[in-house]
Amino acid sequence: MQAKKRYLILLSAGACLALLFYLGGVELPAARRSRQDRSRSGYRPEQPWPHYSDPLHGFVPWDQTDTEDYNLHISARQKRDVNRSVYRGKRCRMDSCFDFSLCQKNGFKVYVYPQQKGEKISESYQNILSTIEGSRFYTSDPGQACLFVLSLDTLDRDQLSPQYVHNLKTKVQSLPLWNDGRNHLIFNLYSGTWPDYTEDLGFDIGQAMLAKASIGAENFRPRFDVSIPLFSKEHPRTGGERGFLKYNTIPPFRKYMLVFKGKRYLTGIGSDTRNALYHVHNAEDVVLLTTCKHGKDWQKHKDARCDKDNAEYDKYDYKEMLHNSTFCLVPRGRRLGSFRFLEALQIPTTVRSIHQDKILSLRQQTQFLWEAYFSSVEKIVLTTLEIIQDRVLEHGSRSSLMWNSHPGGLFALPQYSGYLGDFPFYYATLGIKPYPKFTAVIHAVSPLVSQSQPILKLLVAVAKSQYCAQIIVLWNCDKPLPAKHRWPATSVPVIVIEGENKVMSSRFLPYETIVTDAVLSLDEDTVLSTTEVDFAFTVWQSFPERIVGYPARSHFWDSNKERWGYTSKWTNDYSMVLTGAAMFHRYYHYLYTHYLPTSLKNMVDQLANCEDILMNFLVSAVTKLPPIKITQKKQYKETMMGQSSRASRWADPDHFAQRQTCMNKFASWFGAMPLVHSQMRLDPVLFKDQVSILRKKYRDIERL
């Protein structure tokens, strides 16, 4: 009896197990492996019953998307084949796919292939090439080049785009310097096409580096490729608008907490992400708007939410939302990249912060990043080149502080020094102060014929300053150097240097003999007392990143002529301090020489004019601040105009016209007007106050 029961139980269990196998409820290990294998080769298993308690799906990479539309067009094997063919050098790194020897002789120079006749180039790609050709990195000699850039337009590799360049594979392979892409840089914004949007560029990039928008993590080669933002064809080539953050609000919250406004893709890649936004939208402080209206046949795919979403979408103004939001959402679209990234940076907004105490600092940081690296095509391209240069010259690369703090990596050149304390921007961060002495550099252009000449009086007055370490006389005169005994005896060293090629720009060369942080730049006929020199240096110590000095000038916009104007009128408003009597950091000598293009410096040298204007443009572009004017005696204008060595220069009408021309030429190169107006003048404490003169430190200034 007991045996019968055991057999019946065993038979029932076997029948149940067979039924479960038949219905597919249990899988053997072999069956599980078989199903996984089929899934890898493109087979799509049935979707599990959804859990309504968790309606939002977690993020998965696009190549693992399991949607019906996607797998209908491309299989997993095809995707692997595409990636394998396009990124054959997927394991490339700088040490394996880059020839450093090409950069050792001439440094980091970039060669752009000559444009081939009949080849069409989009405006955006032409802007990229023009930026490179106008930069300090450019060389027209491929034998001097460290990096090569194609003249073939590779920006838009969407086969449905009118900007698509056909037969690019053959054209690239036929380039005599291609060398399997080694030491080449390829710019790309769009790759692949509807409906799959793969990262296929349509040709084998070999060992070339990519500067690419919308590049997937699985294809990005760390410290080899450069990820760039997706920018529109309307993005300015140079300059660009400044960020819209004008002042801080406390508390830092705005009308909206989180906003987004854009297309909602009903099917295919990118649809899962934006289709889920309505779960978070509350129409109050979280406003995430999507529209179905895009494409010719959007109504064919219209779902139950489209009418409501479209109506809600039309109620809000996009710019108004961005200006009044604390955070901005940047979801992916068809491609990984989005225009929303740059738009969010400018406004400013951020997407990754949830800490209230950091909102203000993050908001300011987005403005810095926008203005330093993203506001124009020029900045995007130059940032890309600087990143690659840091990899090539790794021993002289920028620190994270240089990249992520003002003025940014484009203006902080690591070739100048490896020590942050040698730059004028990091004193406060490092908790240090500049060296407490200055070097005077006197620009001499007239022969020394009399012991009563202004240059000798100036030399004596400067040498008496308690802060003067040394005086350098830059001899740019056509006459031979005076004998040593012709110079007056001083308590500080006087070094006479014969100017290189006798040109104006030589006064701003980074001479190794300048060992102090501060440089007092002087014209030979400047009239300053020792007290004025001391006060100028004292003020500069509080503003080491700016130009501090006496003679001020200003600029204005001439609406009738539609050009910038230059004025020397003495008013309460100024935007420049002339370098004939000014104090600034020696780093600006290096930046003037190595950052500015040869074309601008040649213009200055040919005119023998405008070097002071160009230096003011440069410093204001770096600091985003005006110079600082300090107290000046009333007789300065008359005294300067009365000096014989420069009287003809200042009285010459062509001299003034040249300075007008310089203003507009410089503004054109910088892409905008960097000069900033100011009405601030710094005077000594108790200056002109009705108190005893004995209580005043700089008492001699009032007597002048």
Instruction: Show which residues are catalytic.
Output: 612
Q: Which helix (H) or strand (E) holds 537?
A: helix 530-540
* Helix 611-623 / helix 598-607 crossing angle, nearest 10 deg: 150
Tokens found for residue 587: 């780093």
Strands (E), 48-118: 110-112
- Cβ-contact 81, 280 below 8 angstroms: no
Q: What is the DSSP string of 33-66?
A: HHHHHHHHTT--PPPPPP-TTS-SPPP--GGG--
DSSP-based three-state secondary structure for 564: strand
CA angle 367, 369, 373 (to 5 degrees): 130
Angstrom distances, CA of residue 212 to CA of 150, 219, 330: 14, 11, 18
The C-alpha atoms of residue 150 and residue 121 are separated, in whole angstroms, by: 11
Which helix (H) or strand (E) segment holds residue 385: the answer is helix 377-392
| Tokens, residue 548 | 């501090």
Question: Pairing between strand 156-157 and 184-188?
Answer: unpaired
- Extended beta strands in 241-341, E state: 256-263, 286-291, 325-328
Residue labelled with tokens 């104007």? 565
Q: By three-state DSSP, how is residue 592 classified?
A: helix
Nearest to 333 by CA among 73, 68, 124, 62: 62
CA nearest neighbour of 132 among 508, 512, 386: 386
Residue 451 tokens, joined = 């012991």
CA-angle at 72, arms to 69 and 74, nearest 5°: 110
Paired residues of 552 in beta bridges: 577
Find, among 531, 532, 575, the residue nearest to 552 by Cα: 575
How long, in residues, is the chain? 704
How many whole angstroms separate alpha carbon 338 and alpha carbon 350? 14
